Structure 1
Amino acid sequence: MTEPGRPGDDRSLGEIVSDVASDLSTLIKQEMDLAKVEMKEEVSKAGKGAGLLGGAGLAAHMMLLFLTLTVVFALDEAMPVWAAALIVTVVWAVVAGALAATGRTALKKSNPQLPKTQQTLKEDAAWARAQKS
């Protein structure tokens, strides 16, 4: 059998176009399969990383809890335990309030409407309408 594109290739133009379309379809399918495999691998890595970050968050929470208890016990040396606990609680309330205010300000500054994307979509629609006329 002769190679495609070489002299002596008996295929018609229609057969060649059909072969090219079939090969292109196979290539696209193989690329999609490769992308699926790569995506599964990356999602697996990301899942492991997220799990480790979750564990780190839990460990940091426990560390903060015990640090708080240590501060209460240290203050207990100079005052009643209820006063020490109250002072530490007020400090945590101030920290929580500051974080909440900062987070609220950041959320107010965010713009979930994606103005740049909306603008480019409008431009694309205008371009498509211009192509029709």
Structure 2
Amino acid sequence: MDSAPRASAPDSARATATNGNSRRGVIDLARLAVEDTIRLVQQEIQLAKVEIQEMLRSNIKAAVILALAAVCALFFLVMLLVTVALVIPAHALVAGIETAVFLVLLLILALVGKSMLKIGPPPKTMTTLKEDAEWAKQVLKRNGK
């Protein structure tokens, strides 16, 4: 009988040490989860910055082309007015050709510029955010069991 309480004393000390280790293990896991979450958010922000910079560069190029299209539209209007004013056959032919050339340039530049515009949220960032949200939902479901 005397030996039974002695044997249980070291077992209870081990149990207390194990509880302390498991508590520290949970704290360490929570700390790692928070650090990983912070790192993930920082990486998402960095991705969004890079993607927005790429979109900005592309949109600046598109804006320049659209500005050229606007200049061509101005020339088109001037040439159209000159064409109307100069209905005389020889002058009208030259003015009409110039008007047609600027109209073609206007249409080409406007269509190219419009196609280059990228408006909306950054697609890569949105995709990764959706993936991260889905991953977080799965982790919460798994931990909620």
TM bracket, shorter-chain basis: 0.3 to 0.5
Q: Which has the larger radius of gyration?
A: 2
TM-score by length of 2: 0.44
TM-score by length of 1: 0.48
| Greater relative contact order (Cα < 8 A, sep 6+) | 2
